[in-house]
Structure 1
Amino acid sequence: MIEIELLEKYGAVRKQYKKSEIIFEKGNLATHYYQIISGAVKMNNFNDEGREFIQGFFYANQSFGEPPLFLDRTYPANAEAIEDCELLSIPKDSFLKLIAENTAVSIKIIENLAQRLHYKSVMAAEISTQDSEHRLLQLFDYSITYFNFKKDKNGFHIDLTRQQMGDLTGLRVETVIRTIKTLEKKGELKIVNRKVYR
């Protein structure tokens, strides 16, 4: 999102995280801007019964965890590496100086936050009012654009596990599996070697 050279000019450092390593925890004060060079990160919460709710997945060239950075608040969710990652981390003061001195970067940040807010609004409406087929199709269609899923001869590969699909839509894994089979029969999806294509 922000050029690596520009971030490093303002003092960003590269950090390595192993799969399953926690980058920050819910309740910690936001002190840094994070951008992914390689790997993937999820932000999640757990309810009182210990069920995980995934706020989102983030991939190379994406940033995560910015809202509380602008609000002087604590993180509302955990950030965890879901595969080995290399991240850029820049302290809040340096990051704010960077965006104040680079208008184009400020606009990119605003667009990125607006995109996420739009996604959350769409998915909140889907989860509260729609059936499982509609929820999954909305998730897939949105994810194709937002996560830049790749297209091949079978269509767009929905690069999410069944568990991740459930966590993102509020559905049980068993419901996700059943619904995917139904959508395949209706011609909405293809399943090739257990991979889902839209």
Structure 2
Amino acid sequence: MLSQSELNTAKRSVLFRNVPDQMLQNLLSDSHKRKVARGATLFVQGDPATHMFVILEGCVKLIRITPGGEEIVVAVYSEGDSFGEAVALKGGQYPVTVEAVQDSVLLQVETRVVFDTLRSDPDLAVAMLSSTFSHLHELVMEIENLKALSGAQRLATFLISLAPVEDGPCSLVLPYDKVLIAKRLGMKPESLSRSFANLRKQGVSVKRQSVDVDDITQLKEFVSDDA
């Protein structure tokens, strides 16, 4: 049974944002919460794709393991994010391994239940397509950033996404450790340290997990500076 707070979090997700209340209640009645401890694996690359998920609390990382054994972080999702929709609807196997970065609570939705709802009410397809498109857009932006931006610009983009304001000064807390942030941004930990050092000129100072930014607008200008 979901609390009101958990229900509100589920409704904020891209997966359920456009689902009518009655349809959502029917879907959630056949779903259940799953607790995953920090460091535990939710599923591994190659497992049958039988469920899709919404993060009610905590944070998870989606990873792929290269033939050489290197871990590549595909995405990091936190409270209110959803994942697993596209592959679960398509069928087949999960293309990634999902591991909890923090103690997490997930809403686990069985694919069979979604298919049954789609047959009786095709309006759900709009929400599914919206969610899938959102994740596709994120991946396209990730590829663009990796190819077009320097390490310092990628880090600045990440900090901007965490900022509680659109302009002016702010303070923020890094949501997970710097090793994971480096992997998330496609760089090594030492490169992340250099990128933080480079951002000092842009008014960014960091102490452990705390970051102070003199002016978010200045960071945005730095990211968009082709020079």
TM-score by length of 1: 0.81
- Paired residues for 1:1-80 under 5 Å: 1=13, 2=16, 5-9=25-29, 11-80=30-99
Aligned to 1:121, the other structure's residue is in SS state helix
Matched letter for residue 75 of structure 1? Y
For residues 168-197 of structure 1, the C-alpha deviation after alignment (integer angstroms, 9 at most, x for no partner) is 22211001011111112232x232554234
Cα separation, partners in 2 of 1:59 and 1:186, compared to 1, 3 Å: closer
Is it true that 1:168 corresponds to 2:184 in the alignment?
Answer: yes
- Paired residues for 1:148-163 under 5 Å: 150=164, 154-163=170-179
Is it true that 1:190 corresponds to 2:190 in the alignment?
Answer: no
Q: What is the root-mean-square deviation of aligned Cα atoms in Å?
A: 2.6
Work out whether residues 39 and 59 of structure 1, in 8 Å CA contact, stay in contact via their aligned partners in 2: yes
**Structure-1 separation of matches of 2:173 and 2:117:** 36
Matched letter for residue 165 of structure 1? I
**Structure-1 separation of matches of 2:122 and 2:171:** 38
Work out whether residues 150 and 157 of structure 1, in 8 Å CA contact, stay in contact via their aligned partners in 2: no
The correspondence for 2:195, drawn from 167, 173, 179, is 179
Aligned pair count reads 190
Work out whether residues 26 and 75 of structure 1, in 8 Å CA contact, stay in contact via their aligned partners in 2: yes
Aligned to 1:116, the other structure's residue is in SS state helix
Work out whether residues 76 and 184 of structure 2, in 8 Å CA contact, stay in contact via their aligned partners in 1: no
Show structure 1 runs of 5+ residues with no match: none
**Structure-2 separation of matches of 1:102 and 1:174:** 50
Is it true that 1:133 corresponds to 2:135 in the alignment?
Answer: no
Q: Structure 1 residue 27: deviation in Å?
A: 0.8
**Structure-2 separation of matches of 1:72 and 1:117:** 18
Q: Structure 1 residue 6: deviation in Å?
A: 4.5
Aligned to 1:113, the other structure's residue is in SS state helix
For residues 32-64 of structure 1, the C-alpha deviation after alignment (integer angstroms, 9 at most, x for no partner) is 121222222111112233222111112222211
Matched letter for residue 60 of structure 1? E
Cα separation, partners in 2 of 1:98 and 1:49, compared to 1, 3 Å: same
Show structure 2 runs of 5+ residues with no match: 1-12, 214-227
1:90: which partner in 2? 109
Work out whether residues 33 and 66 of structure 1, in 8 Å CA contact, stay in contact via their aligned partners in 2: yes
The structure having more radius of gyration, on CA atoms, is 2
The correspondence for 2:130, drawn from 111, 134, 151, is 111
For residues 1-22 of structure 1, the C-alpha deviation after alignment (integer angstroms, 9 at most, x for no partner) is 237744322x102222211111
Work out whether residues 63 and 96 of structure 2, in 8 Å CA contact, stay in contact via their aligned partners in 1: yes
